[in-house]
Amino acid sequence: MPDPEPPKSRVTLAQLTDFIASHFPQVQEGNGPVTIEFISRRAAVVRMACDERNIRPGGTVHGPAMFKLADFAVYVSILGELGLGATQAVTTSMTINFLSRPVAADLVAHARLIKIGRRLAVAEVEIYSDGKPDMVAHATSTYALPPERPKA
Amino acid sequence: MPDPEPPKSRVTLAQLTDFIASHFPQVQEGNGPVTIEFISRRAAVVRMACDERNIRPGGTVHGPAMFKLADFAVYVSILGELGLGATQAVTTSMTINFLSRPVAADLVAHARLIKIGRRLAVAEVEIYSDGKPDMVAHATSTYALPPERPKA
Amino acid sequence: MPDPEPPKSRVTLAQLTDFIASHFPQVQEGNGPVTIEFISRRAAVVRMACDERNIRPGGTVHGPAMFKLADFAVYVSILGELGLGATQAVTTSMTINFLSRPVAADLVAHARLIKIGRRLAVAEVEIYSDGKPDMVAHATSTYALPPERPKA
Amino acid sequence: MPDPEPPKSRVTLAQLTDFIASHFPQVQEGNGPVTIEFISRRAAVVRMACDERNIRPGGTVHGPAMFKLADFAVYVSILGELGLGATQAVTTSMTINFLSRPVAADLVAHARLIKIGRRLAVAEVEIYSDGKPDMVAHATSTYALPPERPKA
């Protein structure tokens, strides 16, 4: 459960949503559209709408869509925490475990920053099919943070 | 360097390419088109064509495209090794390290199976920008193999 | 926070502790002694006592001690959940992130099973220095489960 | 196969072995003794002697011993490449896949640096039972490099 405390940077959900829409419009391409649902202290919740482009025939887990959702949820949680000066943060690694086949529903990713260092951020992500109790995928991810970042 | 020995299943490159085209046409969507270049004993080489959908503004590494390429290259190497009876193999995990920003060029993935067990296959993947010496990404991946699979 | 519900197998903490002492005495060798503190539904808490053998000169993170603790905590949570018939479960992979240098204190690992399938279990582990709020390491781990296991 | 070219730092095998013996004597404790067998451009080969402390009853893979060997082999390859000024390098993550049960023999780890950046090094490690063709474990690991390091 994300901490209800606001993120340190005081970026609002509306500001972050606008920023992504103007700077990263391509995040909406290729898979189901994504929506930032919630940001809080060191955490974010992001939804990817159910979309035929996410699912392989037979319902096999479509890994790349979940990878993209997990990666984006971590990026959002970093921007939320550190502010829009951290946009140059880049993914250096991700480990993703696919746990069960998601049903044809929205996917909801809960990202949580477990370390914010000077140079690296580490996050954990849980992905659920909307309304279902079992996790469909779990990821841990590392981002390299920009060396000198403007204050949020 | 892939072993030049043919895969155990004796599936040919043409058969595998046809199979993917008819059963997984959606692998060509969303990113640059992919081409299976080579299959051999426990290995495969797959190319993803340079495409604006693969690259983020500013040239930031587009992780999901590389994830998809790595995942597909492992799947191809499993089908090559075990035959078309293994199509129900599913990714259970992937760890990917992004090493350097790929230039605007084709991406070439070299997948190598380091374990083929009864229930699990483990693979390693190196991704290069075409014609460049430095690896841009490295992945290890685990697939669950179908419990009873038809002989190749 | 572990779910306070008892594990499905109804193995008790005392039974599990006795079992480990008689079947895996070597887990107490090489590093600080380990104690199972708590088992519950799909979760376990395991402590590794502060010990000079865990710490490198200068306080550098001693990865192998934390790896061992994380691995053991997952094993305990599997035995707790599935019962002592699952002792043949073996680690197939672990990803561990070292987040901050642990101080000279006991290490406490909280393991949580995020998937129990027929063939694989996947767990997540958080390691803390006793009494400190920041996570010092985070791990995800996969175990292959024995194909036919006696009922707990 | 390691590149036979010498490492950039021109540290010799004898210098590196002496350095480890005087600064990290504890690496010889807890498991089979380790020997650096070979260093070359961005690579190292390290052996862990067969030792009852490495093996669990029944021959189950003893993960922590292999984790320690993999981690040490990467550290050695970093020192070989960057020189003894890089001793403050610390492991930030490791992903290890256990592929087959090692027989009672020495373990030999081949580490290869796949990235040496300003701030991070990424390595890949293959572990074999001495004299056997099949890999018993595979690891990828990331080290944080000291920000300002003396010239080798």
pLDDT value at residue C4: 63
Closest partner residue to D114 (CB to CB) among B114, B122, B135 is B135
Q: Do A92 and D119 touch (CB under 8 A)?
A: no
DSSP secondary structure code for residue C9 in this structure: T
pLDDT value at residue C30: 79
Question: pLDDT digit string (tens) for C130-139?
Answer: 989 999 999 9
Q: Do D142 and A95 touch (CB under 8 A)?
A: no
Q: Do C97 and A135 touch (CB under 8 A)?
A: no
Rounded CA separation C134/C128 (Å): 7
pLDDT value at residue C94: 97
Q: Do B98 and A97 touch (CB under 8 A)?
A: no
Rounded CA separation B129/B103 (Å): 7
For C26-84, the DSSP string reads GGGSSSS-EEEEEEETTEEEEEE---GGG--GGG---HHHHHHHHHHHHHHHHHHHH-G
Rounded CA separation C102/C62 (Å): 9
Question: pLDDT digit string (tens) for C30-89?
Answer: 788 999 999 999 999 999 998 877 776 666 547 889 999 999 999 999 999 999 999 989
Distance (Å) from the C-alpha of residue D19 to the closest C-alpha of chain B?
Answer: 29
Question: pLDDT digit string (tens) for B121-147?
Answer: 999 999 999 989 999 999 999 999 987
Report pTM: 0.93
Three-state DSSP at B86 gives helix
Which residue has 């974010």 as its token pair?
A: A44
Which residue has 């791990």 as its token pair?
A: C139
Q: Are D48 and D102 in contact (CB under 8 A)?
A: no
Choose from B3, B100, B112, B114 for mutation: most chain D CBs within 10 A.
B114
Question: pLDDT digit string (tens) for A51-74?
Answer: 877 776 666 547 889 999 999 999
Rounded CA separation C25/C42 (Å): 24
Which letter, b or e, does each residue of C13-31 get, where b requires 16 or more Cβ atoms within 10 Å of its Cβ? bebbeebbeeebeebeebb
Rounded to 5 degrees, φ, ψ at A59 are 80, 10
* Interchain CB contacts (distance < 8 Å): A and D: 14
- Beta-carbon count within 10 A of A88 CB: 13
Q: What is the mean pLDDT of residues A88-99?
A: 95
Q: Do C124 and A138 touch (CB under 8 A)?
A: yes
Q: Are D123 and A98 in contact (CB under 8 A)?
A: no
Q: Are D63 and D55 in contact (CB under 8 A)?
A: no
Three-state DSSP at B150 gives coil
Question: pLDDT digit string (tens) for D85-140?
Answer: 999 999 999 999 999 988 888 999 999 999 999 999 999 999 999 989 999 999 99
Choose from D74, D101, D118, D140 for mutation: most chain B CBs within 10 A.
D140
Q: Closest residue of A to B138, CA-based? A: A93
- Beta-carbon count within 10 A of A104 CB: 11
**Could you report the predicted ipTM of this complex, rounded to two decimals?**
0.91
Residue D115: closest CA among D92, D137, D132, D85:
D92
Q: Are A124 and C109 in contact (CB under 8 A)?
A: no
Q: Which helix (H) or strand (E) holds C117?
A: none
Rounded CA separation B105/B50 (Å): 5
